Amino acid sequence: MKRSSWRLLVAAGAVFALALEALPCLVRWLLAGRRPRREVLFFPSQVTCTEALLQAPGAAPARPPAGCPCSLPHSESSLSRLLRALLAARSSLELCLFAFSSPQLGRAVQLLHQRGVRVRVITDCDYMALNGSQIGLLRKAGIQVRHDQDLGYMHHKFAIVDKKVLITGSLNWTTQAIQNNRENVLIMEDAEYVRLFMEEFERIWEEFDPTKYSFFPHKQHGH
């Protein structure tokens, strides 16, 4: 072999070795074909019309977003982005929420349930019975809900979509928080975070099994 061929061989070898070293990174990049979803939503959210997103299937023919006659703006907002992330669910939705009273988010969860998505909800017993809570409506619709009987609060605010996307942050799912508070929500398509939060969900789900509820719990209230 000529000298130039040897040089070529060494260069190719070096590039190959480098590529091999970075293989996990490379494989992830090749398999994904696109960047995994990463989004941060900040609140308060502008109040916008979310009707177009929340049209039930089989209801009146879907109107285009601008078609709704209400006087609210029809632009994107942090709330509409959060709704979109949830409504992307095709097989499963896990919710682990301290407070849940937003009517729009409640409708989105009911829509998913109607579409056959397996929805499971964990919540805090102190907040689920408050006026305006969505929990009663979800239960009436046939969605499984479990709650704590603990000393402390079930203070998580996360959702897992199709066991693929984690939605988590400071936001309680209330209109007060969405429209008035400074809040953040991360939307992360990230296998590692999803695995850790799924494990936490399953741990709590088992622990809050209704067969384990005591009828006279000694819940203490504090903050």
CA distances from 179 to 20, 53, 206 (A): 50, 18, 34
Enumerate residues 180-199 that contact a second copy by CB under 8 A: 180-184, 186, 192-193, 196-197
Q: Is 213 in the site for a second copy (CB under 8 A)?
A: no
Cα dihedral 62, 67, 73, 75 in deg (nearest 10): 60
Under 8 Å between Cβ of 162 and 87: no
162 catalytically annotated: yes
Instruction: Check 124, 147, 156, 157 and give the catalytic one.
Output: 157
Minimum distance of a second copy from residue 36's CB (angstroms): 12
Enumerate residues 117-146 that contact a second copy by CB under 8 A: none
Structure tokens at 17: 């070795």
Q: Is 47 in the site for a second copy (CB under 8 A)?
A: no
**Cis preceding linkage at 44, omega within 30:** yes
Minimum distance of a second copy from residue 53's CB (angstroms): 24
Instruction: State the pairing for strand pair 165-169/38-43.
Output: unpaired
Among 142, 152, 210, 217, binds a second copy (CB under 8 A): 152
- Angle CA(41)–CA(46)–CA(49) in degrees, nearest 5? 110
Q: Segment near a second copy (CB under 8 A), from 6-14, 63-71, 85-93, 135-143?
A: 6-14
Q: Is 19 in the site for a second copy (CB under 8 A)?
A: yes
Q: Is 18 in the site for a second copy (CB under 8 A)?
A: yes
Catalytic residues: 155, 157, 162
